[in-house]
Each structure stands twice: as structure tokens, then as C-alpha cells.
């Protein structure tokens, strides 16, 4: 009898120790597993189901919260309201389980940082981490304790509107910066008062939407899924991310939200993730549209079975779990496991111990140091693509014609996902130029009221201003709403009559600086020929104008580098630097432009190589590219050894010299190619990088390291291995780096 009486305790202790073995992070906060199990033991089925439901907005949901039927709310940001709802959950529901309040805090809260793609162009993990820390601090001061970020979907298609939210095309850069965001959001300890749980999304492959059309089917070979799309998610797990979001897309016929391979085999079993997984908005329900579930019940069943713990927005869980249990399609352990994962994170966040936001902690927005960090992030994100005749920087005594639809648009320069961004904080280029160059030296005309304007009514004034100036700065691009979710474009030229206006302005004979604010690479190849200098500014956020004025005036030296390849024309997409070589690689010596092909030329006249006869094979700008006002030289490349064992680390040493006229920062990049594999390998892959600042005339010896294990890939047997053999390595300022050497792995 005695032993039977103690059975539940023994089971609990066994479960606790099992869970503890699986959970490094929860070990850090002592007692979490015990508290989870104890609470779980007291919960009714309805209360368990409640934890698995997330609803949008608190208004009207008070009674459901009181009944314990809601585990999470998204899209509430008023601290008083959040405290009010939390009070109902904590003080009026039977078990007092707090709700977790979520929000899309993607690139800032009130203080808006550059869009993630812009932040990626900084190649600066510390700064990216700081941006997320600041966003977390601002958001947490309202009671938001969970963000749906970082978005770490590899994006190789500029047509896809959500490329703006991504960190670009490269698995390594995305891994490093995504992990930095996780650390920034979550802080040193998840229960810190400025910490919010991060969410690695969208698991997985969402960025591979066919044709760049949002929500579209993907086609990702299993090996490519492993080597290109999954590494950033693994890096997020390693950085301690506490939640995941499943994607809208399907992967090889199976929606990500019911994908056992992704959510169970990889995420839970292989990576041992013990946080919780939320569906994307209605992505459970949408499995009916996918033709993967006949009805809501089947959709709920499929998602829960593979480990989607919480459902966002739709109610397939709430409406069907009880019946699924009754029928035996689910068992209570499926539900317990989901609830356990959710409660664990709530405990770790300290929500049970400190559920409310104290009044004095509320609304801690836009502190001077936050704005300063946003300014630095915007400065480092801007990429100088062209600078003929040293058009930039502009002399402080010059008269500047500041023209264009993005020159004075406090909202449009903030970018996608800025629900809470405060446009009254925005510093536009016009405001900043007036301050930097003096109002009397800035001749402003928008030329077009918005980026999509199709009439030319504003041209005359713009051209007049240009005629009276020494130099024209044209701020164009695309408005915030033209990128982001469901805003894919098939034509990615500058919209409206921007090209026409630029050409008219150039006819004045004045030097013209083209500044592009956009959520994606735009096809600016042809129009750039009418510009003497080009600055790619992305959507630079709150301090974008100030950063631009610093760059244009030379107070700051541009140092951003492209996190994506820029196509010349849409037809080149997908175009990315880490492609395969093919059996017939393109060759600059034999490539012939379409119009140069002789009439009735024989079939094989072009050498039968992999290129377009009109657009060639070279992008407009390669991955990693970006100029500076100074020049950098790389030399003396050496490795510490010629032959490495698989458990060793490669030390790459080289000299970087500032050979130009200004102090500046350079992002040095190391690329590696595995020359022969038992499956084909990319022509090169980024394996290390560092931002280095150098005074004019200064040289530094730089050492970057690459663990040989970083060279692993998914081999013919679907195993992650480093294959012995020869490798080539390059060092330089972009993915076309020329300084090269080789090494062997045995
Ligand atoms: C849908 C988006 O795909 C996702 O990224 C976002 O976090 C949710 N909506 C919530 O707004």
C-alpha cells in the first residue's frame, strides 16, 4: 500500500529527471521541471487545451481567459490592458496560469532598426544583437514577452516580399546573425525583466516559395534542405531559442505544420529542442486548403501528432482535441507533452513569479542610446554600390538638390512589420540634410509623391531644383508596403515613373547620387548607368535619414556589404553565389551576347555553356559586395598548416591594408570550396568573416578561424560528414575574392 501511495510522486520524479536530462536550459532555472509537472498534474483537460490556444487581441476574450481557455495572446501592446488581462489569468482563473503575450517585434518596437535584410548588410553580429536587445527592452516594457523573430528563412529570390524580413541568401551569415538576434531578444536570462522569448521561424523552407510568390509550394531536395535551409535553425537552437514557428509552406508534399520529419525527427529527436512550437497564423487550418486534411479535426490531429504545441489564431485545437482523445486518435500524453513545453517556457520567463509590468517600468521607449544604436545600424547597413569620380562624399559647401519620393517619408523608410514603430521619431533624409548641410543648401522637391506615382506633375519643380544645385541626391525605392508578407513582385524595377524622373534629372548634367530605400534587391542595373553614385539603403528605420546624411557628407564611411546577390534582370533569378559548378560552367571568354551571334550560326557556336545569351551569368553585384570611400588591399594569405585532421581548426592569416584616403571599416570574408565530393559541392561557401576598422594607411594582420567540422555537408548517405580531400580557400571583400590558397583534410 505504502509504495502504491507514493507511485504518482515516483512517476513525477522519473519524468522530471528524464526531462532534466533533455533540458540544459531549464536546468539553469532551478525547479522549473518540478513546477511544470506539479501544475500539469492539477490541470483539467480543458485547461490543458487552453494552454495550446493563442488568440489575437484580448478584447472580448476576458471570460475565456478566466476559464483557463487561452494560453497566449498576440497583438496586445497596451501595458494597462496587458496587466488587466494578466490579472484575470493569474488571480481569477482556477490555477492562475499566466498568459504569454506575443507580438511581431521584427526589427525594433518603437525605435525601428533597419529591416532584417538591412541589418544583415552590416555583417555585424554585436550590433544586430544590440538591436534585438533594445527591441526586447522596449517591447517588454509594455508586457510583450515573446516575439515572432528572428525570421531565418534562406531567401534566394528577390521577388519574394518576405526577403525583407530575412537575413539574406547565405546559411552561414544567417546562422551567425540569427543566433545574435536570439541572444539579443532573450538576454542573459529569460526571466530578466527586459527579456522576451525569441521564435525561430518559419520552420522550414518557406523562403524557397516557387517563383518568389508568397505561400507557394517549395521544391527542396532533401540534401539542400539539410545544407542550406536548416543550418540557421540549428544555430538558433544552439543559441538557446525557446520557441519555433512552423511554416505556411509545404515541403515535398507535406505541409510544414504537419511535417514529422522536420518537427519530430529533426527538431525534437535530433536537436533535442525542449521549448515549444507555435503554428503560423491559421497554418493548421490551412492544411485543408493544402488538401492534406479533410477537415479541422484531421488538421488538428496531424499538427499535434508531430509536435505543434500551440495553435495561432484558428480554433481547430480547441474544437477537436477532446473528440480526438475520445476516439483514441490522440492520447493524453500528446497533450501533456505540448502543455509541458509551453509551461516550461512560461516558468523560464518568470511569468508565474512576476506576471505584471510595474508602472515605473512601462513605456521605456526611444532612449538616446537606443536612437544612437539605430543610427549606427542604419549607417553600417547602407551599401555603396557605385561611386564614380568620387562623387561621394559631397563637399559641405555644395548645393544639394534632394529629390525623390522617399526623401521625406517618415513612415515609408521604416519598412515592413512596424506595427508599433513611432513615425514621430523618424529622421528623414530631408530633416537630416537640412541639419548637416544647412537648410539654405538643400533644395528639396519630391518629384513624385509616392514611389508608385505614375504621373509627371512634380517633375518640373524637381528639374528646376536640380538645375540650381551642384549635385543631385535622388531618394527613391519602394514604399514599405511593397515588400513583406504577401507582397511579392514579378517585376522588381523601381516602381512608378522613378526611372523617367532620374533620366530627366540627369539631363541637367549634374552629378547624380541614387539612394535606394527598398525591402529587396531591385533591378537597378540599367538606371544606375544614369547615376554617378549609388547607395543601397534598404528600409533603414527610424534613424535612416541621419545615417544617410552622415554617409553622404563623409562623416561616416560606408561599410555595408550585400547579404544577397543582386540580379541584373528578374530572369536571372534564382541567382546566388554558392551555386553548383555544373558540367558546363559559364565562361567569360566564350560567352557571346545575343546580338553578336552571327546570323545562321551553327548550333554549337556558343560553346554550350550554362548562361543566358541575353543576361549572361554574372549578377549585377555579387554577394558580399560593397564599396568604401577608402580602398582596402588583402595580402600575405597563409594558413597555419597544409593538412588538417577533422577535429582541428584552420587558422587563416592575412594582411589587410587601408590604402586609400579615409579611415574605414572593411568586412573581410573567407570562402571555401570542397573540390571533389561524393555529392557535388558549391563553387564556394562563406565560412568566416569579420568587421575590421583601419585608419588611413594602417595595416593589420588578421587571423580568422574555421573549425574543420564547419566543412561538413550531407553526403550521399544523408550523413553529415567532412570528407577528406583538397579544398580551396579565398579571402577578400566579397564573394569574388581572388586571393587564394589551398589545404587538405585527411
Ligand atoms: C503570419 C506570419 O507569417 C508570421 O511571420 C507572423 O509572425 C504571424 N503572421 C503573426 O503575425
| Count, residues in the chain | 746
Interval between CA 280 and ligand 1 midpoint (Å): 6
Model confidence at 589, pLDDT cuts 50, 70, 90, reads confident
Interval between CA 281 and ligand 1 midpoint (Å): 6
pLDDT over threshold 80, residue 13 = no
pLDDT over threshold 80, residue 285 = yes
Does this chain's domain 198-208+229-348 share its CATH topology with 632-745?
no
Task: Give the contacts of 578 (CB within 8 A, at least 6 positions apart).
Answer: 169, 170, 228, 623, 682, 683, 684, 685, 686
Cβ(670)–Cβ(618) below 8 Å: no
- pLDDT (0 to 100) of residue 650: 99
| Closest ligand 1 atom to Cα of 149 | 7
Q: Which of 485, 486, 488 to mutate to test the pocket of ligand 1 (most atoms within 8 A of CB)?
A: 485
Interval between CA 698 and ligand 1 midpoint (Å): 47
Cα–Cα nearest to 115, from 46, 55, 49, 165: 165
Residue owning the nearest CA to atom 1 of ligand 1: 281
Model confidence at 11, pLDDT cuts 50, 70, 90, reads very low
pLDDT over threshold 70, residue 15 = no
Q: 546 burial class (0-12, 13-18, 19+ CB within 10 angstroms)?
A: buried
Percentage of residues in the chain having pLDDT higher than 90: 93
Determine the average pLDDT of the residues in 580-600.
92
- pLDDT (0 to 100) of residue 603: 80
281 lines ligand 1 (CB under 6 A): yes
Q: What is the pTM of this model?
A: 0.96
pLDDT over threshold 90, residue 716 = yes
Q: What does the pLDDT look like over 734-745, one tens digit per residue?
A: 999 999 999 999
- pLDDT (0 to 100) of residue 29: 52
| Closest ligand 1 atom to Cα of 247 | 3
CATH superfamily of this structure's domain 198-208+229-348:
Glycoside hydrolase, family 3, N-terminal domain (3.20.20.300)
Q: Which of 100, 103, 115, 281 to mutate to test the pocket of ligand 1 (most atoms within 8 A of CB)?
A: 281
CATH superfamily of this structure's domain 632-745:
Immunoglobulins (2.60.40.10)
Residue owning the nearest CA to atom 4 of ligand 1: 280
| Closest ligand 1 atom to Cα of 165 | 5
148 lines ligand 1 (CB under 6 A): yes
- pLDDT (0 to 100) of residue 590: 85
103 lines ligand 1 (CB under 6 A): no
Residue owning the nearest CA to atom 3 of ligand 1: 280
Q: What does the pLDDT look like over 83-96, one tens digit per residue?
A: 999 999 999 999 99
Model confidence at 606, pLDDT cuts 50, 70, 90, reads low
Mean pLDDT of the chain: 95
Interval between CA 279 and ligand 1 midpoint (Å): 9
Interval between CA 166 and ligand 1 midpoint (Å): 13
Interval between CA 245 and ligand 1 midpoint (Å): 9
The domain ranges of the chain are 198-208+229-348, 632-745
- pLDDT (0 to 100) of residue 55: 98
Determine the average pLDDT of the residues in 46-58.
97
Residue owning the nearest CA to atom 9 of ligand 1: 281
CA-based end-to-end distance of the chain: 63
201 lines ligand 1 (CB under 6 A): yes
Cα–Cα nearest to 403, from 458, 482, 481, 478: 458
Q: Which residue has the cell 543610427?
A: 375
Model confidence at 27, pLDDT cuts 50, 70, 90, reads very low
Report the catalytic residues: 280
Determine the average pLDDT of the residues in 122-142.
98
- pLDDT (0 to 100) of residue 605: 64
Cβ(712)–Cβ(722) below 8 Å: yes
- pLDDT (0 to 100) of residue 196: 98
Q: 731 burial class (0-12, 13-18, 19+ CB within 10 angstroms)?
A: buried
Model confidence at 592, pLDDT cuts 50, 70, 90, reads confident
Q: What does the pLDDT look like over 678-694, one tens digit per residue?
A: 999 999 999 999 999 99
Amino acid at each position: 500500500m505504502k509504495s502504491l501511495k507514493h507511485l504518482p510522486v515516483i512517476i513525477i520524479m522519473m519524468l522530471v529527471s528524464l526531462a532534466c536530462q533533455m533540458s540544459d536550459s531549464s536546468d539553469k532555472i532551478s525547479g522549473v521541471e518540478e513546477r511544470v509537472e506539479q501544475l500539469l498534474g492539477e490541470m483539467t483537460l480543458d485547461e490543458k487545451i487552453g494552454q495550446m490556444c493563442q488568440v489575437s487581441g484580448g478584447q472580448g476574450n476576458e471570460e475565456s481567459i478566466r476559464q483557463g481557455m487561452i494560453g497566449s495572446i498576440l497583438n496586445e501592446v497596451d501595458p494597462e490592458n496587458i496587466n488587466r488581462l494578466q490579472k484575470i489569468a493569474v488571480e481569477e482563473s482556477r490555477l492562475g496560469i499566466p498568459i504569454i503575450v506575443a507580438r511581431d517585434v521584427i526589427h525594433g518596437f518603437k525605435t525601428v532598426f533597419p529591416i532584417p535584410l538591412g541589418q544583415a548588410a552590416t555583417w555585424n553580429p554585436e550590433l544586430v544583437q544590440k538591436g534585438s536587445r533594445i527591441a526586447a527592452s522596449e517591447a517588454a516594457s509594455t508586457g510583450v514577452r515573446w516575439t515572432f523573430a528572428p525570421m531565418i528563412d534562406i531567401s534566394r529570390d528577390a521577388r519574394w516580399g518576405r526577403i525583407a524580413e530575412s537575413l539574406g541568401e547565405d546559411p552561414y551569415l544567417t546562422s551567425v546573425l540569427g543566433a545574435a538576434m536570439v541572444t539579443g531578444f532573450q538576454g542573459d536570462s529569460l526571466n530578466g525583466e527586459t527579456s522576451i522569448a525569441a521564435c525561430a521561424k518559419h520552420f522550414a523552407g518557406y523562403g524557397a516559395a516557387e517563383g518568389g510568390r508568397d505561400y507557394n509550394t517549395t521544391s527542396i531536395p532533401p540534401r539542400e534542405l539539410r545544407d542550406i535551409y536548416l543550418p540557421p535553425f540549428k544555430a538558433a537552437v544552439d543559441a538557446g531559442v525557446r520557441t519555433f514557428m512552423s511554416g505556411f509552406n509545404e515541403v515535398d508534399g507535406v505541409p510544414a505544420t504537419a511535417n514529422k520529419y522536420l518537427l519530430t525527427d529533426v527538431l525534437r529527436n535530433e536537436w533535442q529542442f525542449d521549448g515549444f512550437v507555435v503554428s503560423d497564423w491559421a497554418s493548421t487550418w490551412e492544411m485543408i486548403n493544402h488538401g492534406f486534411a479533410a477537415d479541422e479535426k484531421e488538421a488538428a490531429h496531424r499538427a499535434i501528432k508531430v509536435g505543434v504545441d500551440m495553435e495561432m489564431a484558428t480554433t481547430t485545437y480547441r474544437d477537436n482535441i477532446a473528440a480526438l482523445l475520445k476516439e483514441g486518435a490522440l492520447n493524453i500524453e500528446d497533450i501533456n507533452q505540448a502543455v509541458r513545453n509551453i509551461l516550461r517556457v512560461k516558468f523560464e520567463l518568470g511569468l508565474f513569479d512576476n506576471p505584471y509590468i510595474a508602472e515605473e517600468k512601462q513605456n521605456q521607449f526611444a532612449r538616446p542610446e537606443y536612437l544612437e544604436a539605430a543610427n549606427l545600424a542604419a549607417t553600417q547597413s547602407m551599401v555603396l554600390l557605385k561611386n564614380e569620380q568620387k562623387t561621394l562624399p559631397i563637399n559641405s559647401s555644395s548645393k544639394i538638390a534632394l529629390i525623390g519620393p522617399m526623401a521625406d517619408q517618415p513612415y515609408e523608410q521604416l519598412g515592413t512589420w512596424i506595427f508599433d514603430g513611432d513615425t514621430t521619431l523618424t529622421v528623414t533624409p530631408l530633416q537630416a540634410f537640412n541639419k548637416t548641410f544647412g537648410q539654405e543648401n538643400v533644395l528639396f522637391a519630391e518629384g513624385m509623391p509616392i514611389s508608385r506615382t505614375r504621373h509627371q506633375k512634380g517633375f518640373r519643380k524637381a528639374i528646376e531644383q536640380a538645375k540650381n544645385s551642384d549635385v543631385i541626391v535622388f531618394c527613391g525605392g519602394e514604399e514599405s508596403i511593397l515588400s513583406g508578407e504577401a507582397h511579392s513582385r514579378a517585376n522588381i524595377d523601381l516602381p512608378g515613373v522613378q526611372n523617367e524622373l532620374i533620366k530627366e534629372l540627369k539631363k541637367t548634367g549634374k552629378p547624380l547620387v541614387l539612394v535606394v530605400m527598398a525591402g529587396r534587391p531591385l533591378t537597378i542595373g540599367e538606371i544606375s548607368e544614369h547615376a554617378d553614385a549609388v547607395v543601397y539603403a534598404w528600409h533603414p528605420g527610424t534613424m535612416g535619414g541621419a545615417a544617410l546624411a552622415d554617409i553622404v557628407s563623409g562623416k561616416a564611411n560606408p561599410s555595408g556589404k550585400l547579404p544577397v546577390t543582386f540580379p541584373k534582370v528578374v530572369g536571372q533569378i534564382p541567382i546566388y553565389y554558392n551555386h553548383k559548378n555544373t558540367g558546363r560552367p559559364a565562361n567569360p571568354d566564350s560567352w557571346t551576347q545575343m546580338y553578336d551571334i552571327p546570323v545562321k550560326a551553327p548550333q554549337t557556336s556558343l560553346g554550350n555553356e550554362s548562361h543566358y545569351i541575353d543576361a549572361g551569368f554574372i549578377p549585377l553585384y555579387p554577394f558580399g559586395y560593397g564599396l568604401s570611400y577608402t580602398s582596402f588591399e588583402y595580402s600575405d594569405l597563409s594558413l597555419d598548416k597544409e593538412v588538417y585532421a577533422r577535429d582541428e581548426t584552420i587558422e587563416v592569416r592575412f594582411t589587410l591594408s587601408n590604402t586609400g584616403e579615409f579611415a574605414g571599416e572593411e568586412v573581410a570574408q573567407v570562402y571555401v570550396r570542397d573540390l571533389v565530393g561524393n555529392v557535388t559541392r558549391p563553387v564556394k561557401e562563406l565560412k568566416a568573416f569579420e568587421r575590421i576598422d583601419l585608419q588611413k594607411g594602417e595595416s593589420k594582420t588578421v587571423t580568422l578561424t574555421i573549425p574543420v567540422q564547419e566543412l561538413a555537408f550531407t553526403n550521399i548517405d544523408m550523413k553529415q560528414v567532412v570528407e577528406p580531400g583538397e579544398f580551396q580557400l579565398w579571402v577578400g571583400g566579397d564573394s569574388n575574392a581572388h586571393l587564394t590558397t589551398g589545404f587538405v583534410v585527411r
